[in-house]
Amino acid sequence: MRPVSDPEIERVFREEFGRAVAVLVRSFGDIDIAEEAVQEAFTVAVQRWPETGLPPSPAGWIITTARHRAIDRLRSDAARADRYAKAALMQSENYPIDDGPVRDERLRLIFTCCHPALASEVQVALTLRLLGGLSTPEIARAFIVPEATMAQRIVRAKHKIRDAGIPYRVPPSSELADRLSSVLAVVYFIFNEGYVASAGESLDRSDLAAEAIRLGRILVELMPDEPEALGLLALMLLIHSRQPARTTSGGELVLIADQDRTIWDRSLITEGQSIVRLCLRRNLPGPYQIQAAINAAHSDARNVAETDWNQILQLYDQLLALTPTPVVALNRAVALAELRGAAVALAEVDTLELRDYHLFHAVRADLLSRVGRNEDARDAYAAAIARTANTAERRFLEQARNALPA
């Protein structure tokens, strides 16, 4: 018998927790019951597997063990006239137990976690908790929220799902596009939180970014025909490929133009670019696919001078047509500056209603300094600095301001 190491159990936990919870939610109709039972099953596994070795189907073992635990628990609760226990037992009797390959119920659970009746920070927390298997303290730390606050948020959400009757169901096709876009938004939000922490010392919490990529892979696995799910995965992979180059060893931020491109992660770039090509062949463009294509264009260039700004600007035009938001217009202006000069871009930027967004002021400051308006640039950097809570970003902006000619 081959002994099982803790990291192996950890790996099984990461890979199978969400799937097991989803199956149990489906058979008992209750998230609390499912979560608790799956956690107990892993506790048993930690005790048993080191002696018995890994079972042939770890997921199946976890699910069967969890189901037995849940039924035992519910029987004793039901004896005490617990209404929920009775209902859950009844549901589990009606739910067929198939001993075949483990059914994948995660897609239903994802749509439950990202239901529009839940606040967006709750959608994020539930997705990380139930699909990602992150603990409540881990999620609280990641979002810089007190643990008790996060615990209460998650408990309330689970009760709302139960009491308001939020269903475990993949939405019908009439609603799917809308609902899918909120699922993708949750995953992208998690990625961005991992990429640039919105507050705090450290610029990146790359474990969150890695978790978002893992969730993105699950979405693609579960919805292989959704081009935007592919687009989101490609976008995250391509952005993440630059992770090694975007800060110095001292934690200073490095802009894409100044990054050492030899340390970009080639395997992530290759994977991201091949997904972008697949999306192009399918030709059902959407915002995530276009953003992925923009990032693929950056990844193509061995140095900043080789960047195909023409292609990038065209992609931004396409993106702006689909999602005409001031933030997209701001990003487009950055590409425009490279092609037509800073003055043209500045005129565009000055029309945007984005006064509360620190990057609006940062982009403006850069353009102002490029047209020689150093006093105005100084003011714009000050406005940007006042609006960012991230220490690394603030330090970067302060240095840029200090580097302006007197």
Task: Please report, as ranges, the residues that interact with another protein according to CB under 8 A.
Answer: 83, 115, 117, 163-167, 169, 171
Element (H, E) at 389: strand 389-390
Whose Cβ is closer to another protein: residue 112's or residue 259's? 112
CA pair distance 261, 303, nearest whole angstrom: 7
CA pair distance 115, 185, nearest whole angstrom: 12
- Sequential DSSP letters for 8-54: HHHHHHHHHHHHHHHHHHHHHS-HHHHHHHHHHHHHHHHHHHHHH--
CB of 166 to another protein, least distance (A): 5
Whose Cβ is closer to another protein: residue 162's or residue 373's? 162
CB of 162 to another protein, least distance (A): 10
CB of 186 to another protein, least distance (A): 18
CB of 115 to another protein, least distance (A): 8
Whose Cβ is closer to another protein: residue 111's or residue 396's? 111
User: Which residues are CB-contacts of 255 (< 8 A; sequence separation ≥ 6)?
Assistant: none
Q: What is the largest CA-CA distance in the chain?
A: 80
Whose Cβ is closer to another protein: residue 79's or residue 117's? 117
Classified as helix, coil or strand, 193 is helix
Whose Cβ is closer to another protein: residue 168's or residue 357's? 168
- Per the CB < 8 A criterion, the answer to whether 108 and 171 are in contact is no
CB of 104 to another protein, least distance (A): 21
Q: How crowded is residue 211: how many other Cβ atoms within 10 Å of its Cβ?
A: 25
Whose Cβ is closer to another protein: residue 114's or residue 140's? 114
Which tokens is 297 given? Answer: 């264009």
Whose Cβ is closer to another protein: residue 107's or residue 313's? 107
Whose Cβ is closer to another protein: residue 157's or residue 384's? 157
CB of 270 to another protein, least distance (A): 41
Whose Cβ is closer to another protein: residue 164's or residue 343's? 164
Q: How far is CA 113 from CA 129, 174, 253, 377, in A?
A: 10, 19, 34, 44
CB of 159 to another protein, least distance (A): 11
CB of 171 to another protein, least distance (A): 7
CA geometry: angle 314, 261, 277, nearest 5 deg:
45
Whose Cβ is closer to another protein: residue 10's or residue 175's? 175
- Per the CB < 8 A criterion, the answer to whether 111 and 170 are in contact is yes
Q: How crowded is residue 377: how many other Cβ atoms within 10 Å of its Cβ?
A: 22
How would you classify residue 92: left for phi > 0, otherwise alpha for psi between -120 and 50, otherwise beta? alpha
Identity at 345, one-letter amino acid code: A
CB of 176 to another protein, least distance (A): 12
- Sequential DSSP letters for 348-385: HHTT---TT-HHHHHHHHHHHHHTT-HHHHHHHHHHHH
Which tokens is 194 given? Answer: 């991992």
Whose Cβ is closer to another protein: residue 174's or residue 351's? 174
Which tokens is 95 given? Answer: 């739910």
CB of 37 to another protein, least distance (A): 23
CB of 116 to another protein, least distance (A): 8
CA pair distance 86, 92, nearest whole angstrom: 10
